[in-house]
Structure 1
Amino acid sequence: MNHRRQTLLALAFAAAIAFHALPARAQAKPLRVGWVFAMANAPAVIAEQKRFFADEGLNVEIKSFGDGPVLQQALAAGELDVAYVGAPPVYQWFSRGLDARILAKVNHGQAAIISQASAPIRTVADLRGKRLASVAKGSGMDVLLRGFVLKDQARLDPEKDLDILPMPPANMNAALDRNVADAAFLWEPFVSQALLRGNSRLVLDLNQALPQYPWYVVMAPSSTLKERGGDVVKLLRAHHKAIAFLKDRPAESNQIIAQAFKLEAVQSPDGKAIAPEIIVQEARKRLGWSDQLEATDLRFIQRLMDYSLALGFIAKPLKVDQVVDQSYWLKANAGSVR
């Protein structure tokens, strides 16, 4: 009888433990992270593959998206908790009612204008009357192209002085080869692939014209910040570790990037095969990573907002402090901020 009673007590105790554990399991649902499939967002890849998310105790469900608009749809549908995406989409979505905040930086640089090697295009001003392959009108990169590159740098009217041909960036090099376009506004690794093949000329490196300009950012809807603020801090800590890894171990990180983005060797003008890791190494001349939003970064994001307003992509003025919240980054890096 005593043995039976002990067994029943043990079962009851186990059931009680299981019952009280249920809320904890419910709270351990994955943090859903979306990222635009671009080399500049390599920290998301590194953090996952090197288990920096897991080391922070995060259960992360990570998914890549072909572009910002598709990622936006997932955010609007409540399918994502955090995103690695360009700064312009964040404030554009904010202006249309998606309450979200930019939390940290991901990268600086990445974009360039290249032309056919034989084309008489040496400067951006030479694009007058030419055909420029670029991205969809109103996208984040289009804001940078129309506002800074064409208007500020070359005093060109993007609506009148040249033909802008929207197309996927993966098609732009082919458009140059087939004489569909005279030049292209694109980013890494497509820039480096074209330059290493020797059939294109670098016309403008944006990272030289705008040294270390920020582009991709880590952002989250306000609902995520309210409900899972602690997990956001952990994610930003893992993000910081990934960027340190990219800087401290370039050879290994170049291999991870080459594999993650399925880069293939390209053929140089002398017929030699150039390995995927060399493409990444070349891309680093125009691309780098950092997570802290500096004062210069905030001024640049404000500049992008002003371009978007002038171009008619947002309906009313915005201030950068409306969409940036660095408090979570500061918590993640407490004691390490320089």
Structure 2
Amino acid sequence: MIKRTLLAASMLALTLTGNAWAADRPLRVGYVFAMANAPALIADKQGFYKQEGLEVDLRALGDGPVIQQALAAGELDVAYVGTPPVYQWYTRGLKSTILAKVNYGQAAVIVGKQSPVQTLVDLKDKKLAGVKKGSGMDVLLRGYVLKENANLNPDKDVNIIDMPPGNMNAALDKGIVDAAFTWEPFVSQALLRGNSRVLLDINQALPQYPWYVVIGLPKTLQERPDDVVKLLRAHRKAVDFLNQHPEESNRIIAEAFKLEAVQGADGKTINPVDIVAQARTRLGWSTELRAKDIEFIERLMNYSTDLGFMNGKPAIADLVDTSYLEKASR
């Protein structure tokens, strides 16, 4: 009995020591390095994390799969990532909780200015630049853009060519593809050069649809709930700053993402800040996860299931928890 008591006490001490160590180290936050995730870097550069008394180790990462690996390896506590990967990872064992919205908009289908393609239906038998099959943007392309809007079979009716978004505009210019499904700032860069036009603006079709979200691991929520609330307060401040100070935030974004000037059709140089301003006509930021946002997440899950990208789907109540965001507003 004495040995068992001592063992239990030792285990409790180790647990308390572990939790104390976790609380002492910076909150490790990863974000996909995309303009839509600007609130993460704004919170850092404007000192909003420090205002909340929170030390953050902020890491800009290349894409969702890299974020997934870091989360699975226990190298991150919180992440800014696209919605589809979150629920797809959940069904594969990497459970996390959606805590807040980050952005809406950003994606569009573009074609050459003189292209004969006038509607989505015209994409039948055409070459369309997209991203990796099964990725979040691919779910939106196949499920919403092609199947739902154009009644096209994405595997049979359209030749989707996987390529980095940074290469899509050049591929479109050179006639390698007939259209591209891309996002900001690549959409704005193409339009400002004057050689492309928008075939479908997703944010016009689905006003303020949620895309990037803030997620936390169960361990993080259990061990550091107060820090999660502080993070979300800083996130709120960053979104407010983006919306209330567009010119200043546009300069920060242009510099942080190292945007280069483009030459317009009239030969004039269009500076990076103006590219960001153009991007904001299709992209915006918000923290709230409202009923319509939850419905859209469920809609995305249905797309992923129908496309065969996952078996079954988690209950939305297991996937989303807005209570931390609510505490952050008090």
1:5-61 residue CA offsets vs partner (Å, 9 max, x unmatched):
xxxxxxxxxxxxxxxxxx978732010000001100000010000000111111100
Q: What's 1:247 paired with?
A: 243
Q: What's 1:117 paired with?
A: 113
1:331 equivalent among 306, 327, 330: 327
Question: 5+ unaligned residues in a row in structure 2: which ranges?
Answer: 1-18
Q: What's 1:161 paired with?
A: 157
- SS of the equivalent of 1:75 reads helix
- SS of the equivalent of 2:204 reads helix
Q: What's 1:51 paired with?
A: 47
Q: Which has the larger radius of gyration?
A: 1
1:275 offset after TM fit, Å? 0.8
Aligned residues between the structures: 312
1:80-136 residue CA offsets vs partner (Å, 9 max, x unmatched):
000000111110111111121000000010000001112111111111110000010
Change (3 A) 1:326 1:26: closer
1:248 offset after TM fit, Å? 0.5
Are 1:152 and 2:135 counterparts?
Answer: no
- SS of the equivalent of 1:158 reads coil
Are 1:100 and 2:131 counterparts?
Answer: no
1:321 offset after TM fit, Å? 1.7
Distance 1:317 1:29 in 2: 34
Q: What's 1:6 paired with?
A: none
Structure 1: which amino acid aligns with 2:110? Answer: I
Q: What's 2:7 paired with?
A: none
Distance 2:94 2:247 in 1: 39
Are 1:78 and 2:70 counterparts?
Answer: no
Change (3 A) 1:82 1:25: closer
1:37 equivalent among 24, 33, 37: 33
Are 1:275 and 2:271 counterparts?
Answer: yes
Q: What is the TM-score with the length of structure 2 in the denominator? A: 0.93
Q: What is the TM-score with the length of structure 1 in the denominator? A: 0.91
Q: What's 2:290 paired with?
A: 294
1:223-257 residue CA offsets vs partner (Å, 9 max, x unmatched):
11001111000000000000000010000000000
1:152-210 residue CA offsets vs partner (Å, 9 max, x unmatched):
10000000101000011111011111211110000000000000000111100000111
1:64 offset after TM fit, Å? 0.8
Structure 2: which amino acid aligns with 1:29? Answer: R
Structure 2: which amino acid aligns with 1:86? Answer: G
- CA contact under 8 A between 1:302 and 1:319: conserved in structure 2? no
- SS of the equivalent of 1:218 reads strand
Q: What's 1:237 paired with?
A: 233
- 1:220-231 correspondence runs (5 A): 220-231=216-227
Q: What's 1:67 paired with?
A: 63
- CA contact under 8 A between 2:90 and 2:314: conserved in structure 1? no
Q: What's 1:310 paired with?
A: 306
Change (3 A) 1:315 1:262: same
Are 1:211 and 2:216 counterparts?
Answer: no
Distance 1:59 1:25 in 2: 14
- CA contact under 8 A between 1:133 and 1:185: conserved in structure 2? yes
Distance 1:26 1:333 in 2: 25
Distance 1:253 1:91 in 2: 31
Question: 5+ unaligned residues in a row in structure 1: which ranges?
Answer: 1-22
1:66 offset after TM fit, Å? 1.1
Distance 1:235 1:242 in 2: 10
Distance 2:163 2:40 in 1: 26
- SS of the equivalent of 1:214 reads coil
- CA contact under 8 A between 2:87 and 2:313: conserved in structure 1? no
Distance 1:84 1:122 in 2: 35
Q: What's 2:136 paired with?
A: 140
